[in-house]
Amino acid sequence: MEDKLIIGGQEITSRLFLGTGKFSPNRLIKEAVRSSGVQVVTVALRRVDLEYEEENIASFVPKDCILMPNTSGARNAGEAVRIARLARAAGLGHWVKIEVVTDNRYLLPDNFETIKATEILSAEGFVVLPYMSPDLIVAKKLLEAGAAAVMPLGAPIGSNRGFKTRELVRILIDEIPLPIIVDAGIGRPSEAAEAMEAGAAAVLVNTAIATAGDPVAMARAFGLAVEAGRAAYISGFGATQVYASASSPLTGFLSD
Amino acid sequence: MSFYIERKNYEKFDFYNFFERVDDADIERVIAKDRLSELDYLTLLSPRAEGYLEAMAQKSLLLTIRHFGRVILLYTPLYLANYCVNHCVYCGFQVRNRLSRKKLSVDEVEAEAKIIAATGLKHILILTGESRKKSPVSYIKECIEVLKRYFTSISIEIYPLEEYEYAALISAGVDGLTIYQEVYNEEVYADLHPAGPKRNYRFRLEAPERACRAGIRTVNVGALLGLHDWRSEAFFTGLHANYLQNLFPEVDVSVSPPRIRPQLGGYRPDIEVSDKNLVQYMLAFRLFMPRGGITVSTRERAELRDHLVKLGATKMSAGSSTAVGGRSNGGATGQFEISDGRSVAEMAAMLYSMGYQPVYKDWQ
Amino acid sequence: MRITLNGKETGLPEGVTVAGLIALKKLNPKTVIVEYNHELVKEETWADIVIKENDKLEVLRFVGGG
């Protein structure tokens, strides 16, 4: 059975997406991409710090990757739209991860502004992957707005707390006919596998890889975990719950 | 969007081949799942799954109690008129059958309403044959005006309407629609409905969608079991219910699994649908749509209905008569013979004895 | 003259072009994006744009992000 992940009409070869924040040094990004087989890589757009010399992140990402700018820093739909347009104009392709965060304490996304930005950017031909708090009604609106996938958080950004939103994300997996990509909060390969076993289409990991003792080896571990989890999901789980014959059967009256 | 289009996904589906390939492991896997796909549902409708009815029943009972509690909503049908221009070959009220045709006057409707209301029931289902001339929407509206003084929930089981007509009846006080497609297989449908407005398969199939768009609160769909292969018909009924629930998350969606009964005209179904088949259908549907309602009418025998209380049913009729004015004025010909003649009080007593609560008024 | 550069008011000699500004700040033109008065301007046009009093410039770059 063929199991392809297709987003925006393009077949994606790896179900692990990699964020490029917090790598030190940046050259580890390239090695992590290589060790894990990652294809989709996110970057952010920021004002240049005019006091210090900085590196160009794109030069650390292998050319065959899909660079997906995020709109981090955007505090409303308008700002997210601006960042997406700038990134596209700068030659970064037409993929965009919408990220609108107004809550500085937990860094939780603003679902309402995210819907608005998704609507505008899809209409402009972007492949839009909105980052969101898992909510069925919001996910349906994102679908209507033209999202190419939906990216619910597993736990707050950078928290490494694991797949805490499992029950809510499962509802999205069941109900939304789009790839559901668990983004944020995944701290360990086992948690990535858990999300994949639950039917997530992909997992986006950044902090857990970038801040690991050996980021390159950890990237590989995540790549393997994501593959294992997907293979398990596709295989179909065996029956774990046996409904034993009750002492008073409900169907005993149906004698042939 | 329309279920008419949606169902075409399975137009050329080879049910026989699918059922041949279902094995025990497939069935066990499906029973263990939390969320069933369309084909998982079909797996549970397979002949092979008959070996798993007890496991399905145990899970069904847990799901039903979890989502509905130990309750059965009681309602009763009220036939307003039996004038009909359709030729449904299986129906006692079809145009070619000779019987005394009748339509209740508004006063007669009130007399029946008083008798029913005295039993404590608050949910009523009103029925007519298809005759826009004898039983126009305006007549149904007049009846509703009277009935809403006695009942908190009024459902209609009448000929399919346009969306604006549903909207008019809803604003008059209707909150539920029951409409059976009778047969989901389009060719068989054409054979069984040789003439009359009911020949329009698509208009009938899309009636629940129109009612939902008009703002109805509950819809109940179903296939009349015995007219065509019940497994595929049960499958399409489930798909229809699921389609409506996905499209209209705010609507309560139910199915009925009515088996054809002896009626005037003597139509005998080709296909026998056994008690076991009926139970398998109800259980498969419960596992497929844990929150979906299942309505069981007095077409079924008392003894069987008692068992069905714990096999996924959520609504049952009681104190029924299928004749026009049958309560205040006995002896008229009914649409079909009922099998469970128990009164509302007797049904309530049965439910209490099983640890269940009869519900007369679901919401208001 | 005064301009706003990356949100800060900054002094700049008269007659400097966008290309000149990038050189002045020792930035590699291949790695930055310039928004001139809220519009993205491509590198090929930088030498033709002479910066005026009260202009707003944003110089941006892709950085690591998740």
**A61 φ, ψ to 5°?**
-105, 125
Residue at A87 is within a domain: yes
The mean pLDDT value for A21-50 works out to 90
The model's confidence at residue B34, banded by pLDDT at 50, 70 and 90, is: confident
Cα torsion angle, A11, A14, A19, A25, sign: negative
Determine, for residues A240 and B32 on separate chains, whether the beta-carbon distance falls below 8 Å.
yes
Residue B211 has pLDDT above 90, yes or no: yes
Q: Do A251 and B31 touch (CB under 8 A)?
A: no
CB contact under 8 A, A254 and B276: yes
**Span B318-331, average pLDDT:** 79
Lowest mean pLDDT among A155-164, A176-185, B55-64: A155-164
E-strand stretches of A8-150: 10-12, 16-19, 40-47, 66-69, 95-98, 127-132
Confidence of residue A1 (pLDDT cuts 50, 70, 90): low
Given a contact cutoff of 8 angstroms between Cβ atoms, the answer to whether A230 and A3 are in contact is: yes
Please work out, in degrees rounded to the nearest 5, the angle formed at the alpha carbon of residue A202 by the alpha carbons of A200 and A204: 120
Amino acid (1-letter code) at residue B177 = L
Question: B167 has which bridge partners?
Answer: none
CB of A181 within 8 A of CB of A202? Answer: yes
- Say if A90 falls within a structural domain: yes
Q: Which of A26, A65, A31 is nearest to A218 (CA)?
A: A31
pLDDT band at B364 (very low <50, low <70, confident <90, very high): low
Catalytic residue ranges of A? 97
- Asked if residue A252 belongs to a domain, the reply is no
Chains C and B touch (3+ CB pairs under 8 A): no
Q: Does residue B137 sit in helix, strand or coil? A: helix
Range B25-48 average pLDDT: 94
Instruction: Residue A204: list chain C partners with CB under 8 A.
Output: 66
Best-predicted range by mean pLDDT among A12-26, A131-145, B251-265?
A131-145
Of B32, B53, B276, the CB nearest to A239: B32
Could you read off the pLDDT of B97-117 as tens digits, one per residue? 777 888 899 999 999 999 999
pLDDT in tens, C24-43: 888 888 888 899 998 889 88
Geometric angle at alpha carbon A158, from A157 and A162, rounded to 5°: 85
Note the pLDDT tens digit of each residue in A66-97. Answer: 999 999 989 999 999 999 998 888 878 899 99
**A30 is in which domain, residue-wise?**
5-235
- Pair A77, A118: CB distance under 8 Å: no
- Residue B334 pLDDT exceeds 80: no
**Residue A244 placed within a domain:** no
Contacts of A151 (CB under 8 A, 6+ apart): A97, A129, A130, A131, A132, A180, A181, A182, A183, A204
Q: Is the pLDDT of residue B40 over 80?
A: yes
Position A256 scores a pLDDT of 56
In this predicted structure, the answer to whether residue A239 has a pLDDT above a threshold of 90 is no
Domain membership of residue A197 (yes or no) is yes
pLDDT in tens, A180-231: 999 988 999 999 999 999 999 999 999 999 998 999 999 999 999 999 999 9
Helix (H/G/I), strand (E/B), else coil: B31: helix
Q: Please list the residues that pair with A127 across neighbouring strands.
A: A95
Assess whether pLDDT exceeds 70 at residue A157: yes
Asked whether residue A54 is assigned to any structural domain, the reply reads yes
Closest CA in chain A for residue C43: A90
Domains in chain C, please, with CATH?
2-60 (3.10.20.30)
**Angstrom distances, CA of residue B10 to CA of B5, B182, B357:** 10, 18, 40
C14 touches A: beta carbon within 8 Å:
no
| pLDDT greater than 90 at residue B263 | no
Both tokens assigned to A47: 């004002």
A226 and A234 Cβ atoms separated by less than 8 Å: no
Q: Is it the case that residue A11 has pLDDT exceeding 80?
A: yes
Rounded Cα distance between A225 and A89, Å, is 36
Element (H, E) at B44: helix B38-44
User: Per-residue pLDDT averaged across B131-149, rounded?
Assistant: 94
Residues in B closer than 8 angstroms to A169, CB to CB, are none
Q: How many domains does chain A have?
A: 1
Among A117, A215, A204, A109, residue whose Cα is nearest residue A163: A204
Task: Check residue A172 and give left, alpha or beta (phi > 0: left; psi -120 to 50: alpha).
Answer: alpha
For residue B243, the chain A residue with the least C-alpha distance is A175
pLDDT exceeds cutoff 90 at B272: no
Indicate the range of A174-183, B227-236, C24-33 predicted with least confidence. Answer: C24-33
pLDDT band at B262 (very low <50, low <70, confident <90, very high): low
Whether A50 maps to a domain, the answer reads yes
Please, how many CA atoms are within 13 Å of residue B105, restricted to the half-sphere of its CB? 2
Residue A22 contacts residue A209 (beta carbons within 8 Å): no
Token duo for residue B335: 């649409």
What would the mean pLDDT of A248-253 be, rounded to a whole number?
84
Nearest residue on chain C to A67, alpha-carbon basis: C62
In three-state secondary structure terms, B254 is strand
Percentage of chain B modeled with pLDDT above 70: 97
Tokens standing for B60? 């069904």
Chain A within 8 Å of C23 (Cβ-Cβ)? no
Which residues of A are less than 8 Å from B61 in CB distance? 250
| CA dist list (Å): B241 to A165, B222, B227, B245, B259 | 29, 9, 20, 6, 18
B268 reaches A (C-beta below 8 A): no
C25 CB within 8 Å of a chain A CB? yes
Q: Classify residue A215: in a domain, yes or no.
A: yes
B291 contacts chain A (CB < 8 A): no
Touching C (3+ Cβ pairs <8 A), the chains are: A
Distance of CA B68 to the CA centre of its chain: 18
The CATH number of whichever domain residue A124 belongs to comes to: 3.20.20.70
How many CB atoms within 10 Å of residue A183? Answer: 32
Higher pLDDT, A2 or B140: B140
Interface predicted TM-score (ipTM): 0.84
pTM summary value: 0.76
- Residue B39 sits at the chain A interface (C-beta within 8 Å): no
